[in-house]
């Protein structure tokens, strides 16, 4: 998996390197959900992550929404000429957790189309100004945001609420299992609190 390294200011698990990235999971002492992102332009957003508001247009027949405007949206700039663009769909049952995975090369673009997701992001990139930062973003049918997740940012989600969560996502590369790494959802260094936050 990697080796643990202790520095004067912290402890981290070295995960690996590739594509010029050196990844490590910084040990978090507090068990929490990190910074909750409530606006697409939040100052607490991990460097390189981008959020774009979507819009739902209902009428008497149902509703319409755009998922991505490739090439014209700041979220997807650079994808117009991408020769390896892949579109995928993932569905997960209520309460399911799919976490934590990361890529050295691939960028993900997420658009939820059903249900609600509690998305967790963790900056694994050594040298990043937000290395070790954890974000939580609640998105889905009630908050139709689109999300860009760059290489080196660990990501996953829990489906919250009573509906199946369905996610459409673009990637700028075809699926390559050699580019994907995984960490357990309950890794003690991540120390993420997946429980419902009773207040």
Domain range list for the chain: 30-182
Q: Kindly report the pTM of this predicted structure.
A: 0.92
pLDDT at 8: 54
Q: Mean pLDDT over residues 150-177, rounded? A: 95
pLDDT band at 129 (very low <50, low <70, confident <90, very high): very high
Domain 30-182 fold: Jelly Rolls (2.60.120)
Residue 179 has pLDDT above 60, yes or no: yes
Integer Cα distance of 70 and 78 in angstroms: 8
Q: Which two tokens stand for residue 97?
A: 């957790």
Among 76-85, 151-160, 175-184, the minimum mean pLDDT is found in: 76-85
Q: Mean pLDDT over residues 134-155, rounded? A: 96
Q: Which two tokens stand for residue 81?
A: 């000429």
Q: Mean pLDDT over residues 114-123, rounded? A: 98
- DSSP letter for each residue of 125-189: BTT-TTTT-EEEEEEETTB-EEEEE-TTEEEEEEEESSSPEEEEEEESS---GGGEEE--TT-TT
Strands 116-123, 134-140: pairing is antiparallel
Residue 136 has pLDDT above 80, yes or no: yes
99 in Cβ contact with 190 (< 8 Å): no
Residue 130 has pLDDT above 90, yes or no: yes
pLDDT band at 4 (very low <50, low <70, confident <90, very high): low
Residue 103 has pLDDT above 90, yes or no: yes
pLDDT at 83: 84
Q: Mean pLDDT over residues 150-155, rounded? A: 97
Write out pLDDT tens, residues 34-91. 999 999 999 999 999 999 999 899 999 999 998 888 878 888 877 878 888 899 999 9
pLDDT at 71: 78
pLDDT at 2: 65
């Amino acid at each position: 998996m990697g080796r643990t390294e202790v520095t004067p200011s912290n402890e981290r698990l070295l995960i690996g390197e590739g594509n010029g990235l050196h990844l490590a999971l910084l040990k978090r002492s507090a068990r929490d959900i990190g910074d909750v992102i409530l606006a697409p332009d939040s100052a607490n957003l991990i460097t390189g992550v981008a959020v774009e508001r979507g819009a739902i247009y209902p009428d008497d027949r149902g509703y319409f929404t755009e998922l991505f405007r490739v090439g014209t949206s700041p979220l997807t700039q650079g994808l117009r000429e991408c020769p390896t663009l892949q579109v995928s769909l993932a569905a997960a049952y209520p309460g399911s957790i799919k976490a934590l995975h990361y890529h050295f090369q691939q960028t993900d673009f997420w658009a939820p189309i059903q249900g609600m997701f509690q998305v967790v992001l963790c900056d694994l990139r050594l040298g990043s100004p937000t290395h070790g930062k954890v974000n939580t973003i609640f998105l889905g049918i009630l908050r139709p945001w689109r999300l860009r997740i760059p290489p080196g940012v660990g990501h996953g989600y829990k489906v919250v609420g009573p509906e199946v969560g369905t996610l459409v996502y673009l990637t700028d590369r075809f699926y390559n299992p050699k580019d994907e790494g995984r960490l357990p959802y309950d890794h003690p260094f991540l120390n993420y609190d997946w429980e419902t936050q009773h207040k």
